[in-house]
Amino acid sequence: MSFRFSRLRALVLVVLMSFGLASCGINTIPTLQETAKAKWAEVENQYQRRADLIPSLVETVKGYAKQEKDVLVAVTEARAKATAIHVDANDLTDPAKVKQVQDAQNALSGALGRLLAVSENYPDLKSNQNFLALQSQLEGTENRIAVARKDYIAAVQDYNIELRTFPGVIWASTVYRSAQPMAGFTASEGAQTAPAVKF
């Protein structure tokens, strides 16, 4: 009888401990980590969407602005560099790798900006339906990229805070010792400087 009672008591204790562990945040670190990885995947998805639009945009501009070869080449090269750099979700803890992606994407954004500025010199191009549709899709994609980055930054912040605050710091130092803070995005150089407006 005593043996059965002690087994029952041990079983109840295990159940209570399981509920206690479940409610004390032991699953928070991996949950937040996977959320941040999913948000990063969405950032990459939007980068890929932009990269897929660029060849069509370049071809459309090329037909109207043959003398703008340098701008077209710069966009094509920036696209090639940006798509060649890939950060795996496991590399999100390496700020240098995240910055490398960010720098390549910023260079691509700059080249695209120059390409769209060139279109101002060609009224026929500006009124071309393909160009207008591509420009609209590109603008929408840039907005999606901004939202995806914002969501990733928020997810990384939640994850990094959990690693440094109670009770997450306990789980990070015991159960999830391999969990490292993730790198977020930083403002590109010159982002703090207001653009000069000339009339």
Continuous H helices in the chain:
2-23, 28-64, 69-84, 95-118, 123-127, 129-164, 168-174
Q: According to the model, what pLDDT value does residue 137 have?
A: 94
pTM: 0.81
Q: Is the pLDDT of residue 110 over 60?
A: yes
Average pLDDT over residues 165-172: 92
- Sign of the dihedral through C-alpha 156, 157, 162, 165: positive
Q: How far apart are CA 56 and CA 115, in angstroms?
A: 13
Lowest mean pLDDT among 20-24, 36-40, 69-73: 20-24
pLDDT band at 197 (very low <50, low <70, confident <90, very high): very low
pLDDT tens-digit profile of 132-157? Answer: 999 999 999 999 999 999 999 999 99
Which structural domains are found in the chain, ordered by start?
A: 24-174 (1.20.1440.20)
Q: According to the model, what pLDDT value does residue 42 have?
A: 96
Lowest mean pLDDT among 41-45, 65-69, 109-113: 65-69
Q: Which residue has the tokens 């109670």?
A: 166
